[in-house]
Each structure stands twice: as structure tokens, then as C-alpha cells.
Structure 1
Amino acid sequence: MTHRPTRSPLALALIVVPVLLALLGPLVAGPAGPRSVSFSSGGGHWLGTDFSGRDVWQQVLLGGRSVVLVAIVATALAYLVAVPLGLTAALTRRTWLEEALMRPLDVVIAVPSLLLVLLVAATLTPGPAGLTVLVALAAVPDAARVVHAAAVEVSSRPAVEALRMQGETWWRTAIGYVARSVRRTLAADAGIRLTGALYLVATAAFLGVGVQPDASDWAVMVDRNRTGLFLQPWAVVVPAVLIAALSMGTNLLFDAALQRHTPRKGATR
């Protein structure tokens, strides 16, 4: 019997470095030193300096928290709204309520997420809190549709009818049975949703939405230093690789978790 190859070691290798830098980097970055020449190499800066003469390594240590934490918190907030919304629409016996809950989401989905973030951010003060809320709101419609689609099939099972006939509460039926039955679907979607949040946060920061133009942020580093790519490539390459590694590692980790809990073909219970 052959064993499925696991992706966990590769996923963890891709995730560990960006996450550690995001969480611990600000604690070890130290005070900012005097600024040097823009896009210089050496001079006590082992990764050189950026467009404004700041130490690139220190900016890497400081720049991950805004990207990683905003994406993670935004994804969690999106599911806090999407899961009850999708379950309510799937379990209700009133067609008008299901339509009232799901049809407005189709309108929001028709608007590209980045455009939605740009439109709303134009009226808000730049900051991580506002960007987190925007990214979460942009992710809610897709996540709610996935929850609804997965829960509709489960809600038609005899077990759900039995729970209703026994007078079980909505929370016990929806969370205790339906949500548990679709948890693998939600886990698979969570990997995609977190990757999408990382992309949206990085793109918004790249365009200057939600962050200050000179903020210590990996996406801002890519944007502000790209003009000096051939003079000082580390200021662009390092943050770009960290963002890409985190996105790839997240998807691989969720895939590995799902693979581990999927019975092998021909396996006996």
C-alpha cells in the first residue's frame, strides 16, 4: 500500500519564516539608525538601504505585521459574518428570506474586490483597522455563498429533520450538526480566502490604500523601491518573496490538512 506524499513540511517551511518575521520582527528590529544614501549597498547595512536611505533589513523586520495580521484578522472577521449568514439562508424554510440574504451578495460579488476597497477607502482615514474591515467585507460575499452552497445539501438530510422534530435550537442544529458536516469544505475555502486576503492587503498597500506612503510594510517596500530594482534589488526581492512564500505555504498547508483527513481509496473503516 502506497502512502500519499504530504505537503506539510514544505508548507511549514514556506510559512514559518514570514510569520516569525511578522510576529517577532518588530521586537528585535531595534531603534532606527541614521539614514544613509538611497539604494546603497554595504555601509553597515547587509541588505543595503531603500529609496529613503533606511536599512532594508530593519524595514523587513518591521513590515510584516501589517500585511500578515491584517490578512488573518480580516479572514477571521469575514467568516464570523459569512458562516451565520450562509447557515441561516440554507436552513430557513422561507424562500423569501433566503433570497433576501443571498441576492444582495450577488450584487457585491459583481464589483471587483480591489475596486470595492478603493471606493470605500477613499472616504476613510488610512490605517490598519480600516483596511482590515474593508478586506473582511470584500471577502464576506464569496465566503457566505460557499457556506450556503455546502450547507444546503446537509440541511436536506433526515438528521436535520429529526433535530427539528425534537425541538432542538437553531444553534444546535446549525452549528452542532450542519457546520460540523461542512467543516472540510470551509477549511478548503479558508486557505483560498486567506490567500485572497493577503493579495488584497498587499495590493491595497502597494497602491497606497490603508497605509502611509512611507510606512514600514512589505507591499509598500515593493512599490516604493521598484524604481531602484537594478541598483538595490534586495529592497524589492526580499519582501516580494516573503509575501509569495506565505501565500503558497498557506494553500499547501490547508491542502495537506485536508489530504490527511481524506480516507484512502479502498481503505476500510
Structure 2
Amino acid sequence: MKPRAAARRTGRGQAVLGAALLTVPLLLALAGPWLAGEPGPRGVSFTLGDGHWLGTDFTGRDVWRQVLLGGRSVLLTALAATVLAYLAALPIGLAAALTHRTWLEEALLRPLDVVLAVPSLLLLLMTAALFTPGAAGLALIVAAVNVPDTVRIVRAGATEAAGRPAVEAMRLQGESWWRMAIGYVGRSMLRTLAADAGVRLTGALYLIATAAFLGVGVAPDAADWAVMVDHNRTGLFIQPWAVVVPALLIVALTTGTNLLADAALSARRGGPAAPGRTVTS
């Protein structure tokens, strides 16, 4: 009982801290564009005040307004990439776990090993060299980069459930593949997927921020937190707020997401068994 109680306490602490870290960047990303208002006249001001709460950047744009506008693109692109990765990975991973045909499993998994062998940043740069992706294209690229790892997590989580007597009984009763895969196996690994989703979202945020920092998939003058860090880093000691504030918001977003994912994993380890876990003889 003590390890379970400790796991629950750890999970609650991680959940509270993660939620606290996520609150500010999420609020700014979702409500910021409505609070930003119309752009005022440009003027250079590296000190707080003078009508600019955080001063201006080197082009004379209000830093606070750029902060309000810059989170939505990062967050929405990362969420879209994570959802797309799972939409592609779930059927592949479940099919690999449930099939009894070795050749089919190899055909599903071996091509993904090729993608996994290429560094994600290199794949991103290679794709960007062929065409200029927008936000939608960037989300697709990041999703494709995350699919191989996601398939492996799905397959590993589904393999144990796929070997239970209940699944074999469903086969003998003629249940559909979707009912076995989604209705039973998928439900049994919801906590695993919830924990992994935080890792996937963090990886997507990292790649998107890196791409924006390198000018891939994001306009050079876009209101974007990663672009702000890139464009203002040379003047860090003159106007630190244009770099520090968006950088801290990205760190809070990724760290908070990881903490919530760890809390979900702690709940899985120390909490009650997942639905369908108990098998009676």
C-alpha cells in the first residue's frame, strides 16, 4: 500500500505543478490574439513602460503584443501534429499487435525503422529543402517524424492486451477487428497513451520551435514565440525581454506537459487497474 500511496502523492504533486506551469502559456496562446488589439505606431524602446510593457524589439514592434500573438501558432501546430501522428500510428500499431502473420507485422514495422534511423531534424530540413511548408505542412512533417516512435509505443502497449484470453474468445465469437482493437485492446491502454501523448506533444513542440528558429515553415516576420527568440537573440543584453519571455513560455509549456504526462504514468503505476484488466478463469 505504501508504494501506491507514494505514487499517488507524487502523481498529484506533478499534476498540480504541471497544471500551474501550463496555465500561463495556454491562456496567452488561446486568449492572447483577442487581447492584443491593434498595433500601435512603431518605435524603439528597450526599457519597460513608455506605452510598451516589455519594450520593443529591434524592428520597433511591441514585445508584449508579439507575446500575446505568438503562442497560438506554436500550440495549434503541435496539437495538430500530435493528433495526426496518433491517427496514423494507432491502426498500424494495433494491427501489428493483433496479427498472427509475421510477414504482415514485418511489412508494417520495417519501413518505419527506415524513418526512425534518420534524425528528425535532418528529415525536417531535407523536406523543407524540397518545398516551403506552411503551418499545415509543418504539422504534417512533424507528425510523420513522430509516427515510428508512436507506433512502437502503441504496439508495445497493445501486445500484452492482445494476448489475453478475452481477445481469443472474441476471435472465436466472430467479433469484428475494430471491436477487438478499439473496444477492448485500445481501452486497456488508455493510460499508457495518455502518458505517451505528453511526450509526443513535447517532442512536437521542440521540433516546431526548432523549425521556427531555423525559419522553416514559419514566415520570418511571423508573430511566433520561437521566431521572437531567433530574431532578438543577438540583442539579448540590450533587450532581454524579447528573448527571455517567449523562451520561458516555451519552457513552461513543454515542462508542464511532461509533468502532466508523468502524473498520468504515476497514476497508471499506483492507481487501480485499467478497465478489462482482471481476467477470471
Flag whether TM exceeds 0.5 (same fold). Answer: yes
CA distance in 1, matches of 2:65, 2:95: 47
Secondary structure at the aligned position of 2:150 is classed as: helix
Match of 1:127 among 105, 123, 134: 134
Q: Which residue of 2 aligns with 1:60?
A: 67
Greater fraction helix:
2
Instruction: Please give the TM-score of this superposition, normalised by the length of structure 1.
Output: 0.94
Amino acid corresponding to residue 87 of structure 2 in structure 1: L
Q: Which residue of 1 aligns with 2:53?
A: 46
CA distance in 1, matches of 2:256, 2:219: 28
Q: Which runs of at least 4 in structure 1 moved beyond 6 Å after TM superposition?
A: none
CA distance in 1, matches of 2:165, 2:133: 50
Per the TM alignment, residue 240 of structure 1 is displaced from its structure 2 partner at its CA by: 0.3
Amino acid corresponding to residue 24 of structure 1 in structure 2: A
Amino acid corresponding to residue 144 of structure 1 in structure 2: V
Q: Which residue of 1 aligns with 2:34?
A: 27
CA-atom RMSD in angstroms: 1.8
Per the TM alignment, residue 256 of structure 1 is displaced from its structure 2 partner at its CA by: 2.0
Amino acid corresponding to residue 200 of structure 1 in structure 2: L
What's the CA shift string for 1:84-108, capped at 9, x where partnerless?
1100111112111110010011110
Secondary structure at the aligned position of 2:222 is classed as: coil
Are 2:258 and 1:251 aligned? Answer: yes
What's the CA shift string for 1:115-170, capped at 9, x where partnerless?
11111122233421111111111111110111112212221221111110000000
CA distance in 1, matches of 2:113, 2:264: 31
What's the CA shift string for 1:191-241, capped at 9, x where partnerless?
111110010000000000000111100000000000110001000000000
CA distance in 2, matches of 1:96, 1:261: 33
Instruction: Please give the TM-score of this superposition, normalised by the length of structure 2.
Output: 0.90
CA distance in 1, matches of 2:72, 2:227: 13
Q: Which residue of 2 aligns with 1:159?
A: 166
The answer as to whether partners of 2:17 and 2:256 remain within 8 angstroms in 1 is yes
Per the TM alignment, residue 12 of structure 1 is displaced from its structure 2 partner at its CA by: 1.0
Aligned positions, number: 266
CA distance in 2, matches of 1:190, 1:264: 19
Which runs of 5 or more residues in structure 2 are unaligned? 273-277
Return closer, same or farther for 1:65/1:201 CA change in 2, 3 Å cut-off.
same
Q: Which residue of 1 aligns with 2:176?
A: 169
Amino acid corresponding to residue 172 of structure 1 in structure 2: R
Q: Which residue of 2 aligns with 1:146?
A: 153
The answer as to whether partners of 2:18 and 2:257 remain within 8 angstroms in 1 is yes
CA distance in 2, matches of 1:169, 1:264: 31
The answer as to whether partners of 2:78 and 2:208 remain within 8 angstroms in 1 is yes
Match of 2:217 among 198, 207, 210: 210
Return closer, same or farther for 1:264/1:24 CA change in 2, 3 Å cut-off.
closer
Per the TM alignment, residue 251 of structure 1 is displaced from its structure 2 partner at its CA by: 1.2
Same amino acid, percent of matched pairs: 69
Secondary structure at the aligned position of 1:122 is classed as: helix
Q: Which residue of 2 aligns with 1:239?
A: 246
Are 2:113 and 1:113 aligned? Answer: no
Q: Which residue of 1 aligns with 2:20?
A: 13
